[in-house]
Amino acid sequence: MTPLALRDFEAEARRRLDPAIWDYYAGGADDEVTVRANTSAYARIGLVPRVLRGAFHRQLAVDVLGHRLSMPILAAPTAFHLLAHPDGEKGSARAVAAAGSLSIISMAATTAVEEITAAGRSANPDAAFWFQLYLQPDLAYSQAVIERAEAAGCSALVVTVDSPVYGNRERDRRNGFLDLPGLLVAENTREPLPTGEWGNPRSIGFTGDLSWDHLAWLRTATSLPVVLKGITHPEDARLAVENGVAAIVVSNHGGRQLDTVPATIDLLPAIAEAVDGRVPVVLDGGIRRGTDVLKALAFGATAVALGRPIIWGLAAGGEQGVGDVLSILRTELDRAMALCGCSSVLEVSRELVRPAPEESWSRL
Ligand SMILES: Cc1cc2nc3c(=O)[nH]c(=O)nc-3n(C[C@H](O)[C@H](O)[C@H](O)COP(=O)(O)O)c2cc1C
Ligand SMILES: CCCCC(=O)C(=O)O
- What pLDDT digit, counting tens, does each position of 102-142 carry? 999 999 999 999 999 999 999 999 999 999 999 999 999 99
Please state the atom number of ligand 2 nearest to the C-alpha of residue 167: 9
Which range of residues forms the domain containing residue 137? 6-362
Residue type for position 334: D
Q: State yes or no: is 214 an active-site residue.
A: no
**For residue 330, what is the domain's CATH number?**
3.20.20.70
Instruction: Tell me which of 165, 166, 171, 189 to substitute to probe ligand 2's pocket, judged by most ligand atoms within 8 Å of the beta carbon.
Output: 166
As a whole number of Å, the CA-based R_g of the chain is: 19
Q: Is residue 1 part of a domain?
A: no
Does the pLDDT at position 362 exceed 80? no
Query: What's the pLDDT score for residue 356?
Result: 57
pLDDT-wise least confident of 92-96, 200-204, 265-269, 339-343: 200-204
How many domains, in total, are found in the chain?
1
Q: Is residue 303 part of a domain?
A: yes
Taking the CA of 312 as reference, the closest ligand is 1
- Residue ID of nearest Cα to ligand 2 atom 1: 204
Please state the atom number of ligand 1 nearest to the C-alpha of residue 252: 19
Query: What's the pLDDT score for residue 358?
Result: 59
HSE of 41, CA atoms in CB hemisphere, 13 A? 28
Does the pLDDT at position 198 exceed 70? yes
Q: Is residue 65 part of a domain?
A: yes
Q: Is residue 134 part of a domain?
A: yes
Q: How many whole angstroms from 79 Cα to the centroid of ligand 2?
A: 6
CB 79 near ligand 2, within 6 Å: yes
Query: What's the pLDDT score for residue 182?
Result: 61
State pLDDT tens for residues 68-115: 999 999 999 999 999 999 999 999 999 999 999 999 999 999 999 999
Please state the atom number of ligand 1 nearest to the C-alpha of residue 26: 31
Question: Over the chain, what is the mean pLDDT?
Answer: 95
pLDDT-wise least confident of 75-89, 229-243, 300-314, 344-358: 344-358
